[in-house]
């Protein structure tokens, strides 16, 4: 009786622990948890890596890249099973009836490349066997190769072992070396190639390879495949296909290799800069489908915004993925911008008094960048009427008054207050109109260019100089001013999430706000002025206000309605402004914080690091932050910019970064840039021809330059 009671208690405690582990595994944010994102066609594979023992430490989730709303929660993944999660994706090594999976404390993961294709590697131990897994997208149609290397590193004698691959449900179709399971929306298959003993256990959803003899010091390499297909039809032919990859895979594999050859590269002794850029260029194409769709916040939103997509496209351009950037832009033009120029917010469209007036400017800004880097004018020509209506929508009198500034109830971070002027909206209106003027001739609107520039100047002048309504206060930029002239700061805002400061504390502040950095990052104010200096000093109040591990909040933490904690893309706003203002020590501190926190090891940054438990489950992974970092490297650190159509280069390297070399895609060709070090530019050689910097210290690249070598020599 006593043994029975003990056994029952052990069983119940085991079930409780299993439930707790599943709950922790399902959380988006967990200390020591990293993510990688790979994509093969429409199949999006998100690798989850844990440093704590919440379950298998190396697993993955499968999603349809064409369905952004699916990745709102892990439980929506194709391979997620209630009460089991996605643990079936873990590799199991079996020795003497003992089962090993990757253990958090003893598993090391990293990005690697296979034939130039970004891949994810995990190294862990099964007894005396060192196990290395490498997952690589190897086709354009939902196939990943999982290469397993077994190294007898610490065996005392020759031995045998087996490997087990699993699918989440009982098999629907099987072959000698493959099995396929079906759910309502997809087929999932695993297979193994090579002449090995294989046992298929359809009811147990597993494929076992072995027993495999392994000698002391021996290394075995076993190639397996994972495939995803939507819709869930044709299980038998799908099984046959994945069982025989050699018959059809080679051309697709070569196409993947060719596609990745377009990627931009940076080489420097500065591991922070080099690794961050590589992480961004590896991961960004995994976030976005071939048709340009993306989830603005994986595990959080499942929605699409013109703002997020535009800023993501900007980063995608600067890693050299021009085709993907074009797809994002065209998807927005087709599906996220209405015929009257209204822009999408959270996969829908809001009332006029809650529109986000920054979105026009962000879209036009990335469109100009796309034209500058690619020379492709087709989108401007094909969608010219819609683009012009979008440009001019914020200029309508119901949104904009005699000051030239727009005003409404919605602020930049999507809270709703009384009608007021928002700094971020004026900033992006100005930038959008200026970029639109540069593009006007391609939009069959050359006659509007002067008007758009004049309206931009009018808005900017009021924003900085209006006697009663300017968005400057106490010598620094301010976030919001009511239409009656009062600075909006102290508010009562109830918030959205239980436990968030705005819902707990009696009153809240709006200032300071990370969006104060935007006019500095864009150069709309003198970056070396007292106004910029004072604004950046004010923004330092957002660093460590209620924690001690660094990073900047998006606004005063007391008014956080959901996610208090350091925000990653808000930190990039401030970092970019710091760099433009010449405060390289501060920008370096921000960059290193991004590298060491919130996903910087892989490039899959969280929107924020939550400091209340309610947000740990749904902290989002943001493509936007990865894009901001890659853009920072090219635009701010290397200093490659466009004034109108004129490319200029004015590097601002850290002392630790130089010398730096880059191979960048440019229009139909590529260019190699070498920068000797930090400091002002002395002179440049452009395909061997000496060019001195202009009065602003910039190297002007001739319009005739289409490819070749640019050498920048710094003092």
Query: pLDDT at position 7, please?
Result: 43
Residues 189 and 236: their CA atoms lie apart, in Å, by 11
For residue 494 the two structure tokens come to 């109830």
CATH number of 646-714: 2.60.420
What Å distances lie between residue 307 and 298, 364, 653, CA to CA? 16, 11, 29
- Give yes or no for a contact between 269 and 309, defined as CB atoms under 8 angstroms apart: no
| Tens-place pLDDT, residues 229-272 | 999 999 999 999 999 999 999 999 999 999 999 999 999 999 99
Give this prediction's pTM. Answer: 0.95
Class of domain 31-260: mainly beta
CATH code of 265-637, in short, is 1.50.10.10
Among the residue ranges 137-146, 405-414, 607-616, 688-697, the one predicted with the least confidence is 607-616
The answer, yes or no, to whether the previous bond of 512 is cis (omega within 30 of 0) is yes
Domain with CATH 1.50.10.10 in the chain: 265-637
Asked whether 38 and 137 are in contact (CB, 8 A), the reply is yes
Beta strand spans in 176-257 (E): 178-182, 187-192, 198-201, 206-214, 219-229
Q: Specify the domain boundaries for CATH 2.70.98 within the chain.
A: 31-260
Q: What pLDDT is attached to residue 516? A: 98
- Write out the two tokens for 8: 């029952």
Q: What is the pLDDT of residues 76-125, one digit of tens each?
A: 999 999 999 999 999 999 999 899 999 999 999 999 999 999 999 999 99
Region for 544 from its dihedrals, namely left if φ exceeds 0, alpha if ψ lies in -120 to 50, beta otherwise = left
> Residue 149 half-sphere exposure, CB side, CA atoms within 13 Å?
14
Query: Where does residue 503 rank: exposed (0-12), middle (13-18), buried (19+ CB within 10 A)?
Result: middle
Is the pLDDT at 457 greater than 50, yes or no?
yes
Q: What is the pLDDT of residue 3?
A: 46
For CATH 2.60.420, list the domain ranges present in the chain.
646-714
pLDDT digits (tens, 9 = 90+) for 379-420: 999 999 999 999 999 999 999 999 999 999 999 999 999 999
C-alpha distance from residue 268 to each of 215, 272, 638 (Å): 41, 9, 12
Q: What is the largest CA-CA distance in the chain?
A: 93
């Amino acid at each position: 009786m006593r043994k029975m009671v003990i056994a029952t208690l052990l069983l119940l405690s085991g079930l409780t622990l299993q439930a707790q582990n599943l709950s922790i595994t399902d959380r988006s944010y967990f200390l020591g948890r990293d993510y990688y994102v790979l994509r093969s066609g429409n199949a999006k594979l998100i690798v989850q890596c844990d440093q704590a023992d919440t379950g298998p430490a190396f697993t993955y989730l499968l999603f349809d890249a064409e369905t952004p709303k699916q990745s709102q929660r892990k439980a929506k993944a194709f391979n997620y099973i209630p009460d089991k999660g996605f643990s079936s994706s873990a590799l199991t090594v079996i020795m003497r009836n003992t089962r090993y999976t990757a253990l958090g404390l003893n598993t090391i993961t990293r990005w690697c490349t296979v034939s130039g294709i970004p891949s994810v590697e995990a190294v862990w131990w099964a007894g005396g066997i060192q196990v290395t897994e490498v997952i690589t997208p190897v086709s354009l149609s939902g196939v990943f190769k999982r290469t397993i290397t077994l190294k007898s590193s610490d065996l005392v004698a020759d031995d045998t072992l087996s490997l087990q691959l699993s699918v989440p449900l009982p098999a629907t179709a099987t072959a000698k070396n493959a099995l396929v399971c079906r759910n309502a929306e997809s087929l999932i298959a695993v297979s193994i190639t090579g002449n090995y003993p294989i046992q298929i256990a359809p009811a147990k959803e597993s494929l076992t390879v072995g027993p495999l003899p392994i000698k002391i010091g021996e290394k075995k390499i076993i190639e397996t495949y994972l495939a995803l297909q939507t819709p869930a039809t044709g299980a038998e032919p799908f099984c046959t296909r994945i069982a025989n990859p050699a018959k059809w895979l080679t051309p697709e594999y070569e196409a993947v290799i060719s596609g990745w050859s377009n990627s931009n590269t940076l080489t420097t002794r500065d591991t922070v800069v080099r690794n961050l850029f590589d992480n961004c260029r590896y991961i960004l194409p995994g976030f976005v489908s071939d048709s340009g769709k993306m989830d603005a916040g994986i595990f959080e939103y499942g929605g699409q915004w013109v703002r997020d997509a535009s800023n993501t496209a900007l980063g995608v351009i600067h890693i050299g993925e021009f085709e993907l950037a074009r797809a994002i832009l065209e998807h927005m033009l087709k599906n996220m911008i209405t015929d009257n120029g209204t822009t999408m917010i959270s996969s829908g469209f809001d009332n006029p008094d809650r529109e986000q007036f920054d979105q026009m400017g962000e879209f036009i800004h990335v469109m100009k960048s796309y034209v500058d880097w690619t020379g492709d004018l087709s989108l401007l020509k094909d969608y010219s009427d819609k683009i012009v209506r979008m440009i001019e929508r914020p200029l309508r009198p119901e949104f904009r008054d005699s000051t030239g500034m727009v005003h409404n109830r919605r602020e930049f971070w999507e809270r709703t207050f009384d009608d007021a002027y928002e700094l971020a909206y004026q900033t992006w209106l100005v930038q959008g109109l200026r970029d639109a003027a540069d593009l006007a001739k391609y939009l069959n609107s050359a006659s509007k260019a002067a008007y758009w520039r004049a309206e931009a100047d009018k808005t900017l002048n009021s924003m900085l100089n209006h006697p009663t309504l300017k968005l400057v206060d106490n010598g620094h930029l301010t976030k919001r001013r009511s239409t009656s002239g009062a600075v909006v700061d102290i508010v009562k805002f109830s918030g959205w999430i239980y436990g968030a400061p705005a819902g707990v504390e009696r009153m809240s502040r709006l200032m300071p706000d990370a969006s104060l950095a935007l006019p500095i990052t864009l150069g709309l104010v003198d970056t070396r002025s007292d106004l910029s200096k004072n604004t950046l000093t004010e923004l330092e109040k957002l660093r460590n206000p209620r924690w001690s591990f660094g990073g900047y909040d998006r606004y005063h933490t007391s008014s956080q309605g959901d996610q208090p904690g350091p925000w990653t893309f808000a930190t990039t706003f401030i970092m970019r402004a710091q760099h433009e203002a010449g405060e390289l020590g501060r920008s370096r501190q921000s960059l290193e914080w991004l590298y060491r926190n919130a996903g910087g090891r892989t490039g899959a940054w969280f929107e924020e690091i939550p400091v209340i438990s309610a947000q740990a489950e749904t902290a989002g992974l943001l493509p936007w932050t990865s894009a901001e970092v890659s853009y920072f490297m090219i635009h701010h650190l290397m200093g490659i910019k466009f004034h109108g159509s004129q490319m200029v280069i004015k590097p601002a390297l850290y002392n630790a970064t130089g010398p730096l070399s880059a191979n960048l895609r440019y229009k139909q060709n590529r260019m190699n840039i070498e920068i000797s070090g930090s400091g002002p530019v002395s002179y440049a050689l452009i395909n061997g021809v000496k060019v001195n910097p202009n009065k602003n210290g910039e190297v002007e690249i001739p319009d005739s330059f289409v490819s070749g070598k640019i050498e920048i020599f710094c003092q």
